[in-house]
Structure formats: structure tokens, C-alpha cells
Structure 1
């Protein structure tokens, strides 16, 4: 096989030894008559969608003041003690000068958005496309819906100065442990992670201490990255002191 003929250039991509079977060019595929619509589901097209989500998120949140993200279960009903606690937290954060960011859904997220809104604070919801319809709660002032979890997670970290986790499920645990990993590895600094509700979180804290630390998979000092409390006031104090805010 002729070496030159065996090489195919597709923009910045080089293909050798017959790894390209296309006979048309990118311009031809762009300008030719419309064909099947499944091209919008290819990985290369998804890159543009991902890029657009980052652009939209950065653009919408660029002017947001200092903020705290609140996580917790979407299944918590109105009037439940955890709903009221998240509402109290949203109010306290707003009064302390923080915008409140949540996943924008119902339950604990709604409670935090509601508390911030009722205290004339800035209430933000970052929603996610799910198989079942959820939508943004009515207490969100600024809302963005994302297709991709990892884009949404970037926004939570980039535009927050702390995470507060109330009782929740896999989504709450996912966000909490990802934030812990980022702090542990030095990807983000001065970023308090607060677990609100000692009865709910004590089993997890004990497991980290008695299993992970005991087995040497995390360091004893890693436990210091987590603050666990029942007090909304203390949670806000931890955030203000850790982020350099005057008490």
C-alpha cells in the first residue's frame, strides 16, 4: 500500500492504515442535501452541545454574587422537618449575604430556594434532564436546565463557596463525595462541606472513621474536611469563617 494514499486527514485528525472508510469530505456532508437525522446523536455533535451548555452556564452565572449550594432529597414533602430546616437555612444564608443555589427541584431543594426568596435573597436552580419530568420549583429566580450531569456539577463547584448537604439519596451523596474528592486533592481550596442533620449523617461518619480510616484508604485528617451539625446558625458561621467573611 502506498504510504501517502494510506494517510487520511480529517481536520486535526490523522488516520493511517485504512482506518477511514469515508469517501466524502466534511464540507460535502455539511452542504449536501439533508439526509437521516441521526447525525445529531453522534459524539462529535455532542461535543458542541456540551460546549454550548458550558457557555450558557458560565454566561448566566458570571454575575452571581458569592453563593452556597444546598443539596438534599427531592422526595421530602412540604411541612417535613427537613423541608423546614432547608427553608430556615436558605433564609439564614440570604441574610448572611449569600445567594442560594440548589438543583432546582422539589423537596429540600425547594425549601432552600423558598427560604432565600422569602428573605429577599438570590435564589438559583440548576436543573437536570431526567427520564421523569421534574422541572424547576416556583421559588427559583434564575434557573438553568442542563443535559449533562458533569456540566451541572462544574457550575455547582465553580459558583459556590460551600456545600451544605441535608438528608438525601444517591444524588446528594454523589455531589458530597465529589466535592470531598476535589478538596482532598487540592483541586478546590477553602471549600467547607457541611452535613446538616447529625442523626442522619452519623452512620456515614462512623463508617468513614471506622472503616475507611481504619483500613488506611483515607487519612485521619480527611475527616476534618467534613463538618457535621444540627445548627443552621453554626453552618452559616462555618461558611463565613472558612470563606473569610466577617462574623
Structure 2
């Protein structure tokens, strides 16, 4: 029997309206069950039901267990829920930023929890991390379903206020304005710029945001200043389209705070899983701006997918001939691999974001897969 995934109170209400027997094998994830306690106490069809996190009173918990349910509680030492059914919003990860500073936000505390030696070999902590990331993956797949998604990859070291930062923002803006969902690794630098541009579009608001952000150009100097400046820019804008900009960061890189400009944020504990999912959802192509080791890893990770494909995949566009032929000469390796597989039809090396944009939007006009 396929389990019912119940992730919202309206979905729970619909299940409560069903006859006895329909609760069997349901998965109740991240719900405040105290709001439906009296209704649940009147039922006993909980064989195979699994309760994942959320809020539950002792009387209801005992009732559910007595009638066959299995209940998993969040680890109270973990600042974020292990069983969340939805992606993050910047206000969740950065709660308390302006009043108490970055180190006291759920984002910073979750990173420190993940690095705590006491939880490194704790089986329950491992389960908590795995369940969290599984929930994020499920929510992410629902969030991108049916949309053209273009990945913008690039280095975290790109400073605000530079021409390159503005170029990345303009690329994100133009892609999103054309109806594409822009996804990045969710961190600072080129990733922040592309998420910012996608969120605000090619507008006067974007130009003002670029000016304002330049007052705190580098997160390495002060995460508090860097993030607080972004918060003030972000809270001025409530986009009507909630699927323009997506960040997929990881707590593995604790020195890189997530940027605040994704319409949604899919943050992972496992960087390996995060990288794989991030590249897999880019069904309309990937553009790679200047970066270092992490960006090179992403290039070859997507190259492996395309190399072993049975037919040409979406475009992989590298921007900057000097960057990718001399500074970090990955292009000759890609050409050699592309000569032997469908990968070759996906590869593009260009000098400008205008060229990259044209290639990616041409792909985005093809039918969704």
C-alpha cells in the first residue's frame, strides 16, 4: 500500500473526513497535531502510521502508539526541524539576525550542531540529518515540477560592487524575466548575484539593490554586516512570482552563509546529495561563471551526466574563454570528452552573458521534460 503523505493541516482534515481504515500507513510530517487532537482521539485506525516531528501532546501520543503508530520526535538540540515538509524562507534561517547577530541565527546554530563531534557518530543524529535532507529533496522536487530550470554556477568570492557581480545579476534577471526559474548553489558571490537578479528582474529596484549591497562587499569581513545589508534590501521586495529564484546551499560549507535572495532555499546537511540534486534539476541548462574548486567540481559532475547520456542533454555554457582555457584550463578536457559522446553537442564556450543567455533561452523554449 502506498502511504499517504500528509504535510499540511488541510490535507489532514481531508483524511479525517474519510471512513475508518483510511489512516493506515499515513505519514504525518511536521504537523501541529494538538490542533486536531480531539478528532484524532476518536479514531483508532493508525496501524502503520508514522508521525514525523511536529507537535503532539502526551495523551494523543499514547493513543496513537497504542493503536499501531510509530512516532519520531525532533532532536531538541537541532535548531531546525528534521522532518520539515517545505523549503526554507530567508526569514527562517536568519531569524534574529538584526537583533542578536548571525551566530545566534538558526542557520549558524545548525552548522555548529552538524560539526559537533558528539553527533558525528551518533546514530540518531545521522538519522535526523538524513530525514531532514530527504524532506528537503521531496519539497524541492514539488517546487520545481513543471518548470524550466537554469543553473547559474560560480564562485563564492565574487565581491559585491564589481562589474562581474552586476553581470551575474543581469543574467539572473534576464533569465527569470523570460520565464525561467534560476537556481544557484545558494551561497555568496556569483550565486547571490544571480539569485538577486532573478528575484528582482531587470528593473530600477535591481540597480538600487546593487548600489545598496556594495556597502558591504564581502561576507568574509563581516557576515553580520553582509547579511544585514541583504536583509534590508530583501524586505523591501515581495515578488508576485514566487518561483523565479532558488538557492540550494549546504551546511557543509559553514564559512559560506546562504544568500537571502532565493524565493525559496533548499538547504542540505549532505553536500554530496545537495550537489547531485542541484545539477539534476537544471533541465534547461547550466551556465558557469568564473569560480574555483567548487565550481570546477560542478562542471565535471554535470559533464559525467552528459557524457554517459544516450542523447544530447541541456546546454553546459562556460563564460570566459581566458578563465576556462588558461586560468583554469578545463575546456580542453571537456572538448576531448565531448568528441566521444553526446556531451559534445551540449558544450558551449562564450565570452559574454549575452551569448550565454541566448543559448539558454533557446533551450528553455523547447518542451519541458
> How high is the TM-score relative to the length of structure 1?
0.71
Residue in structure 1 matched with residue 351 of structure 2 by the alignment:
230
Distance 1:188 1:150 in 2: 25
Q: Once the two structures are superposed, what CA deviation does each residue of 1:144-185 show, in whole Å capped at 9, x if it has no partner?
A: 221111211232133212111100011100011010110110
1:220 matches 2:345: no
Contact 1:192-1:227 at 8 Å conserved across structures: yes
Distance 1:63 1:166 in 2: 25
Alignment of 1:20-31 (within 5 A): none
- Which piece of structure 1 moves more, 140-149 or 120-129? 120-129
8 A contact 1:113–1:140 mirrored in 2: yes
Matched, 1:142 2:261: no
**Aligned partners of 1:182 and 1:188 also within 8 Å:** no
In structure 2, relative to structure 1, the CA distance for the partners of 1:131 and 1:237 (3 Å cut) is closer
State whether residues 66 and 159 of structure 1, in contact with CA within 8 Å, keep that contact through their aligned partners in structure 2.
no
- Decide whether the 8 Å contact of 2:180 with 2:364 is kept in 1: no
**Pairwise CA distance, 1:44:** 8.3
> Structure 1 residues 223, 245: CA separation in 2 closer, same or farther (over 3 Å shift)?
closer
Q: Choose the corresponding residue for 2:309, options 186, 191, 202.
A: 186
In the alignment, what sits opposite 2:126?
Answer: 46
* Distance (whole Å) between structure 2 residues aligned to residue 193 and residue 73 of structure 1: 17
Segments of structure 1 that go 5 or more residues without pairing to the other structure are 1-36
Residues 122-137 of structure 1: pairs in structure 2 closer than 5 A: 122-130=244-252, 132-137=254-259
CA-atom RMSD in angstroms: 2.9
CA offsets 1:19-78 (integer angstroms, 9 cap, x no match): xxxxxxxxxxxxxxxxxx968725686366335413322213413232111111100101
Q: What CA distance in whole angstroms lies between the structure 2 residues aligned with 1:98 and 1:232?
A: 15
Question: Which residue does 1:92 correspond to in 2?
Answer: 174
In 2: Cα distance, 1:70 partner to 1:174 partner: 14
- Decide whether the 8 Å contact of 2:288 with 2:319 is kept in 1: yes
Q: Superposition pairs for residues 45-124 of structure 1, below 5 Å?
A: 46=126, 49-64=129-144, 65-119=147-201, 122-124=244-246
Q: Which has the higher strand share?
A: 1
| Larger RCO, structures 1/2 (Cα 8 Å, 6+ apart) | 1
Work out whether residues 312 and 345 of structure 2, in 8 Å CA contact, stay in contact via their aligned partners in 1: no
Q: 2 CA distance for matches of 1:57 and 1:152?
A: 9
Q: Secondary structure at the match of 1:239?
A: helix
Say if 1:39 and 1:132 are closer, same or farther in 2 by CA, change over 3 A: closer
Unpaired segments ≥5 residues, structure 2 = 1-116, 202-238
**Aligned positions, number:** 205
Following TM superposition, by how much is the alpha carbon of 1:142 offset from its aligned partner in structure 2, in angstroms? Answer: 0.5
- Aligned-pair distance for 1:242? 3.4
2:320 and 2:350 in contact (8 A); partners too: yes
